[in-house]
């Protein structure tokens, strides 16, 4: 059913459902894309937003329901098929070739032909025209790799519009943009609206949505729970719809009694090459036996902060580990002092895919296995077997190939490799990323056990349930800054959502619990 009977709805989803195995991602969703308007789609992680957009853009097909384009039922075979019908999508992760020019990126995979070759002049002229339409002062001949992130975002939009897109899907378009780049993007969106383009806009930034949106649709647990014109919505109303009438579950973990400070961060600042602050004057303390969650939305600066702490990103400020300043030390030197990181992308940054489980676990302490240059296989096998047992890794032995393990068990292997160094503090970046609910519970149980043994744990998450379930303390980041620092026994979902969007908490909470 459409939002208003008098508006034009070129694209409509009716009763769309999608499952992945036993996981029900969409549950009979109805969604209208209004022409000449910004159609905001919002919901917590796992609400089904991205799945719905992938179906609208031809990336996937629904199990049930149908899509109507100009009133006629359609079934898109691919993204290219949807693009030919006037539906463009700009994914959250930019999909550009940095070694090609702006023009070459815009027409990549759909060149303008001239006889047996490519009509480069026509491509150049068309690229210049679509960039001018967007009000972008970007040279069509410039290499994409030389452009700022915000300019690259405009190139992605230009690529979609070059095929005369009537519907444009933008997934978290401002997550990596500066304030000035966001302002430019909003001007582009206003121009597209005037041209009658229907824009689907996905973001977690509530105030931004209220500023740019015309219609707001809220999803929760794979279902559509509300659709209203923006004039009928407010930030508190959106939070209530996202989390449920009661503001979400009140889940607490049994807090440990923290010990002495282990990791102390003072005025940490990390900047992009153009000077934009990814981490902006962050200070926090992590104590022995304490689990601290850093909660925030995409682009909040969580990963950049962890990379700075472990030495992978240069920055400003002071870092102390057990009282010793380490900000000038190398990654290897910080590891020697027993500060370890479990990266977010375990496949590319955390695992050695060609090695066995034992090889992955032992990689971090080869120097201890080979004091005279020769590896003691007996010592290695004993240590590997002990770690497999300690973490409950479901592998027959250390000889099992790492690729044969589930995502949750692979994550345990990465954690286990860090534990081989007997860390005093461990950093985990989105530790539940890409693992199922059962494996997530096992990883969290492991974290709780380790903290009870005195290990200081700092982990990032974009999942409210995770932050409230496992952490002793929740630190919230927004736009690179700490916006709240709350004990788990006083944190609640509504407050964390507000803080993650840069909205000040109520004065009593700020005064009592140190929210910034």
Taking the CA of residue 504 as centre, how many other CA atoms within 13 Å lie in the half-sphere pointing to its CB?
6
User: Average pLDDT in the 343-372 region?
Assistant: 77
Query: What residue ranges in 103-158 does DSSP mark as E strands?
Result: 113-114, 117-118
Write out pLDDT tens, residues 373-426: 666 677 778 888 888 888 888 887 888 888 877 777 888 888 888 888 889 999
Across-strand partners of 460?
294, 429
Per-residue pLDDT at 354: 83
d(CA 497, CA 509): 14
Contacts of 461 (CB under 8 A, 6+ apart): 293, 294, 295, 430, 431, 432, 467
Q: At what angle do helices 179-194 and 149-161 cross, to 10 degrees?
A: 20
> Any idea how long the chain is?
516
Q: Which class for 513: exposed (0-12), middle (13-18), buried (19 or more C-beta within 10 A)?
A: middle
Residue 253 clears pLDDT 80, i.e. is over it: no
Residue 6 clears pLDDT 90, i.e. is over it: no
Per-residue pLDDT at 251: 37
The answer to whether the CB of 271 falls within 8 A of the CB of 278 is: yes
Per-residue pLDDT at 443: 79
d(CA 486, CA 155): 41
Closest by CA position to 464, among listed 174, 247, 280: 247
Range from 84-98, 364-378, 449-463, 482-496 carrying the lowest mean pLDDT? 364-378
d(CA 335, CA 264): 16
If one compares 445 and 465, the residue with the highest pLDDT of the two is 445
* Angular region, 439: left φ>0, alpha ψ -120 to 50, beta rest: alpha
Q: Which pLDDT band, with edges at 50, 70 and 90, does 174 fall under?
A: confident
Per-residue pLDDT at 321: 96
Across-strand partners of 223?
220
Break the chain down into helix, strand, coil percent, rounded to 5.
35, 25, 40
User: Average pLDDT in the 51-63 region?
Assistant: 93
Distances (CA, A) of 214 to 38, 69, 116, 350, 514: 5, 21, 46, 42, 36
Q: Which pLDDT band, with edges at 50, 70 and 90, does 270 fall under?
A: very high
Query: Which residue is listed with tokens 């209203």?
Result: 228
Domains of the chain, each with CATH number or no CATH: 11-243 (3.40.50.300), 259-338+424-516 (3.40.50.300), 348-422 (no CATH)
* SS3 of residue 307 by DSSP: helix
Per-residue pLDDT at 199: 95
Mean of the per-residue pLDDT values of the chain = 84
Per-residue pLDDT at 246: 39
d(CA 345, CA 303): 11
pTM assigned to the model: 0.62
Residue 40 clears pLDDT 50, i.e. is over it: yes
Contacts of 508 (CB under 8 A, 6+ apart): none
Residue 366 clears pLDDT 90, i.e. is over it: no
**Measured in whole angstroms, how far is the alpha carbon of residue 441 from the centre of its chain?**
20
Q: Is the Cα dihedral 30, 199, 86, 26 positive or negative?
A: negative
Per-residue pLDDT at 179: 67
Residue 434 clears pLDDT 70, i.e. is over it: no
Across-strand partners of 264?
285, 320
Q: Which pLDDT band, with edges at 50, 70 and 90, does 205 fall under?
A: confident
Q: Which two tokens stand for residue 197?
A: 């383009």
d(CA 142, CA 49): 34
Per-residue pLDDT at 143: 94
pLDDT above 90 covers a percentage of the chain that reads 40
Q: Which two tokens stand for residue 88?
A: 């463009």
């Amino acid at each position: 059913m459409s939002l208003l009977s008098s508006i034009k709805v070129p694209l409509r989803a009716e009763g769309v459902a999608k499952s992945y195995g036993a996981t029900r991602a969409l549950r009979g969703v109805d969604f209208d894309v209004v022409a000449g308007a910004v159609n905001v789609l919002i919901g917590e992680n796992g609400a089904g937003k991205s799945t719905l957009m992938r179906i609208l853009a031809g990336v996937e097909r629904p199990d049930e329901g149908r899509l109507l384009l100009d009133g006629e039922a359609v079934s898109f075979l691919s993204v290219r098929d949807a693009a030919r019908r006037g539906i463009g999508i700009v994914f959250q992760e930019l999909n550009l070739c940095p070694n090609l020019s702006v023009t070459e990126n815009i027409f990549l995979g759909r060149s303008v032909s001239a006889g047996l070759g490519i009509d480069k002049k026509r491509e150049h002229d068309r690229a210049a025209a679509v960039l001018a339409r967007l009000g972008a002062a970007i040279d069509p001949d410039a290499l994409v790799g030389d452009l700022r992130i915000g300019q690259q975002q405009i190139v992605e939009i230009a690529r979609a519009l070059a095929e005369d897109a009537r519907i444009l899907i933008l997934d978290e378009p401002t997550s990596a943009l500066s304030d000035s780049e966001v302002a430019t993007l909003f001007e582009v969106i206003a121009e597209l609206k005037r041209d009658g383009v229907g824009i689907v806009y996905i973001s977690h930034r509530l105030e931004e949505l209220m500023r740019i949106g015309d219609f707001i649709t809220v999803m929760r647990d794979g279902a559509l729970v509300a659709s209203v014109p923006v004039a009928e919505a407010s930030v508190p109303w959106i939070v209530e719809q996202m989390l449920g009438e009661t503001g979400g579950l009140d889940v607490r973990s049994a807090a440990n009694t923290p010990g002495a400070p282990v990791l102390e961060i003072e005025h940490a600042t990390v900047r992009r090459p153009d000077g934009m602050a990814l981490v902006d004057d962050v200070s926090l303390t992590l104590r022995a036996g304490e689990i601290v969650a850093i909660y925030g939305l995409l682009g909040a600066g969580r990963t950049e902060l962890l990379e700075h702490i472990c030495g992978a990103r240069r920055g400003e400020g002071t870092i102390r580990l057990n009282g010793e300043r380490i900000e000038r030390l190398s990654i290897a030197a910080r590891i020697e002092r027993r500060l370890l990181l479990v990266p977010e992308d375990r496949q590319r940054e955390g695992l050695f895919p060609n090695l066995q489980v034992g090889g992955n676990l032992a990689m971090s302490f080869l120097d201890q296995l080979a004091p005279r240059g020769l590896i003691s296989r007996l010592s290695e096998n004993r240590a590997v077997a002990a770690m497999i047992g300690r973490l409950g890794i479901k592998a027959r032995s250390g000889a099992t190939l790492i690729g044969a393990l589930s995502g949750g068990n692979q994550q345990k292997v990465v954690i286990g490799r860090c534990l081989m160094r007997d860390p005093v503090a461990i950093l985990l970046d989105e530790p539940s990323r890409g693992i199922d609910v059962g494996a997530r519970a096992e990883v969290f149980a492991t974290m709780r056990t380790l903290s009870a043994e005195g290990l200081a744990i700092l982990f990032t998450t974009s999942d409210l349930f995770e932050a409230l379930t496992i952490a002793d303390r929740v630190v919230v980041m927004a736009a690179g800054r700490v916006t709240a620092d709350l004990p788990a026994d006083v944190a609640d979902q509504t407050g964390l959502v507000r803080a993650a969007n840069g909205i000040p908490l109520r004065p009593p909470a700020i005064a009592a619990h140190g929210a910034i």
